[in-house]
Homo-oligomer: A and B are copies of this chain.
């Protein structure tokens, strides 16, 4: 049987105290069966995003001591930050990568939810493809009210957790556990300091104001770089390929006489998402397209065609696998 591979991206609610971040992340280091691909603490958000790739069972087993360490070191009654959160470990999404179905990932979500409650009496809600009710599909619906509001919200029969009773854990809160397809965190640079074009272009491309169905986007000014950006999540890269969004942004930018020189990925991307867009530009330029191109060629083509900065092979999910 071929290796089953998933991605798991637990987020925990500490991004300021380096020794705490280190102690929690260390529970996931050097474990047989999966790779700790990244751990990105953010002080403003007071949150750390961890990326794991590997075998489902190895990841699930390792999440128990990980959650245990967060329980030991984070007291949500004294935690604050820019990012909404409802637990010391806030979310644990499972993402199918290879030889794993979405249903398998729903199964993993259920397994870890049950084990976390049995071990620590921390309740959890299943979301995205693992959701058990329509109003739990979107994580923000579940998280609304955050840690502070969840004490009462969880007593509403509508918000009985999927694992646990009608009580939050007094210091940890609750966890959202999900199964979903990989989302792509993608940012497009605009060569201007004026936020307005980024604001208008975000409105044009994001679903909430009429744009592409699977795009969430907003404007941001990058102080360190001195220009604005359209920052986005692409929730379904198959239906909303990168090239289509990039070209639409360029088309909209023309009306402001603003250049679109570059773009960037935050976190990882499935190989197929790059290939789908490289294929578009090959077709447009009447150049041959080889779907078996090397990861190096993929990166080089992506930079040439789409202006990615800071892209390297290890951003490709599959390049992290043996």
Residues of A within 8 A of B (CB): 204, 207, 209-214, 236, 238-240, 244, 247-248, 251-252, 254-257, 280, 283-284, 286
List the B side residues contacting A256 at CB < 8 Å: 283
A209 close to B239 (CB less than 8 A): yes
Most chain-B CB neighbours within 10 Å: which of A236, A248, A255? Answer: A255
List the B side residues contacting A214 at CB < 8 Å: 210
Please give the distance in Å from A211's CB to the nearest CB on chain B: 6
Copies in the complex: 2
Q: Which listed residue, B244, B255, B286, touches A257 by the CB 8 Å rule?
A: B286
A204, B45: Cα distance in complex, Å: 35
Name A247's closest neighbour in chain B (CB-CB). Answer: B251
Please give the distance in Å from A30's CB to the nearest CB on chain B: 40
A256, B204: Cα distance in complex, Å: 25
A244 close to B204 (CB less than 8 A): yes
Please give the distance in Å from A249's CB to the nearest CB on chain B: 11
A34, B212: Cα distance in complex, Å: 38
A280, B256: Cα distance in complex, Å: 9
Q: 10 closest pairs, A vs B, by CB? A: A210-B239, A255-B283, A210-B213, A254-B284, A247-B251, A210-B240, A255-B280, A255-B284, A210-B214, A207-B213
List the B side residues contacting A251 at CB < 8 Å: 244, 247-248, 251
A-B contact pairs, 6 of them (CB 8 A): A210-B238, A211-B213, A248-B251, A251-B251, A254-B283, A255-B284
A214, B238: Cα distance in complex, Å: 20
Most chain-B CB neighbours within 10 Å: which of A210, A238, A244, A286? Answer: A210
A244 close to B239 (CB less than 8 A): no
A50, B102: Cα distance in complex, Å: 48
Please give the distance in Å from A134's CB to the nearest CB on chain B: 12
Please give the distance in Å from A272's CB to the nearest CB on chain B: 15
List the B side residues contacting A280 at CB < 8 Å: 255
A244 close to B254 (CB less than 8 A): no
A239, B255: Cα distance in complex, Å: 17
A248, B251: Cα distance in complex, Å: 8
List the B side residues contacting A284 at CB < 8 Å: 254-255
Name A213's closest neighbour in chain B (CB-CB). Answer: B210
Name A284's closest neighbour in chain B (CB-CB). Answer: B254
Please give the distance in Å from A274's CB to the nearest CB on chain B: 16
List the B side residues contacting A257 at CB < 8 Å: 283, 286
A238, B203: Cα distance in complex, Å: 12
A234, B210: Cα distance in complex, Å: 11
List the B side residues contacting A248 at CB < 8 Å: 244, 247-248, 251
